[in-house]
Amino acid sequence: MFSLVPQVPVPDNASNIFGNKFLRRPELATFDRLQIVYEAYCAKIFGLWGTVTALSKYYNVSRTFIYDTLAVFEEIVELALGPPVQPADTENKREAVEMIASLRLEGKCGIGSIVAIMNRIGLRFSSQGTVSTYLNHIGSLVPPELRFEDNDLRVVFLSDEIFSGGVPILITVDPISSAILKIELAEKRRAEEWKKHWICLENNGIEAIYLVTDEGSGLCAAHDELFSGVIMRQPDTFHAVAYRLGSRLEQLEKSAYKAITEEYNREGKIASARTKAVIRKRTELYEKARSEARKAVALYDNFFYLYRCIINELNPFCCDGQLRNRQQAEGNIQAALEMIETLGNEKINKAIDGIKNILPNLLNYFVVALEVREELEKLPINHNALSSLCSAWQHHKAVIKAKKADRRKRCADREQRHLEFAVGYLQEDFEIIKDRVYNELDTIVQSSAMVECINSVIRPYLNTSRGQVNQNTLNLIAFYHNNRRYRAGKRVKKTPMEILTGKKQEKDWTELLFDLIEEKDPLFFSAAA
Q: What is the DSSP string of 492-524?
A: BT--HHHHHH-----S-HHHHHHHHHHHH-TTT
H-run or E-run covering 332: helix 326-341
* The domain boundary residue, chosen from 348, 363, 378: 363
Same structural domain, 296 and 373: no
213 is a domain residue: no
113/326 Cα distance (integer angstroms): 54
| Region 318-330 average pLDDT | 93
Same structural domain, 260 and 245: yes
| Region 225-236 average pLDDT | 90
Say whether 262 sits in a helix, a strand or coil.
helix
Task: Indicate if the pLDDT at residue 492 is higher than 90.
Answer: no
Number of H helices, E strands in the chain: 23, 5
H-run or E-run covering 475: helix 471-483
Same structural domain, 241 and 357: yes
| Region 366-386 average pLDDT | 92
255 is a domain residue: yes
462 is a domain residue: no
CB atoms near residue 76 (< 10 Å): 10
330 is a domain residue: yes
259/297 Cα distance (integer angstroms): 8
Of 420, 439, 323, 436, nearest in space to 381 by CA: 436
Are 216 and 224 in contact, with CB atoms under 8 Å apart?
no
Say whether 28 sits in a helix, a strand or coil.
coil
pLDDT class for 46, splitting at 50, 70, 90?
low
* Choice among 314-318, 460-464, 525-529 with the minimum mean pLDDT: 525-529
Are 289 and 262 in contact, with CB atoms under 8 Å apart?
yes
pLDDT class for 27, splitting at 50, 70, 90?
low
Same structural domain, 277 and 260: yes
Same structural domain, 355 and 376: no
Same structural domain, 241 and 352: yes
H-run or E-run covering 15: helix 14-18
Say whether 67 sits in a helix, a strand or coil.
helix
Same structural domain, 309 and 383: no
Tell me 448's DSSP state: -
Q: Tell me the pTM.
A: 0.76
User: Regarding predicted confidence, which is higher, 77 or 378?
Assistant: 378
Domain hosting residue 263, numbered range: 237-363
The identity of residue 40, as a single letter, is A
Same structural domain, 275 and 348: yes
Q: Angle of helix 326-341 relative to helix 346-362, nearest 10 degrees?
A: 170
The identity of residue 188, as a single letter, is K
Tell me 197's DSSP state: H
Same structural domain, 295 and 353: yes
376/370 Cα distance (integer angstroms): 10
* The domain boundary residue, chosen from 327, 344, 363: 363
397 is a domain residue: yes
Structural domains in the chain (count): 3
Dihedral of the alpha carbons of 338, 399, 360, 346, in degrees to the nearest 10: 30
Same structural domain, 409 and 355: no
Are 154 and 500 in contact, with CB atoms under 8 Å apart?
no
- Return all residues near 429 (Cβ < 8 A) that are at least 6 apart: none
* Burial (CB count within 10 angstroms: exposed 0-12, middle 13-18, buried 19+), residue 201: buried
Same structural domain, 276 and 356: yes
- Return all residues near 253 (Cβ < 8 A) that are at least 6 apart: 300, 304
Same structural domain, 324 and 300: yes
Task: Indicate if the pLDDT at residue 111 is higher than 70.
Answer: yes
* The domain boundary residue, chosen from 378, 409, 441: 441
336/330 Cα distance (integer angstroms): 10
H-run or E-run covering 234: strand 233-235
55 is a domain residue: yes
Q: What is the pLDDT of residues 476-489, one digit of tens each?
A: 999 999 999 999 88
227 is a domain residue: no
| Region 78-87 average pLDDT | 61
196 is a domain residue: no
Q: How far apart are the first and last CA of the chain?
A: 21
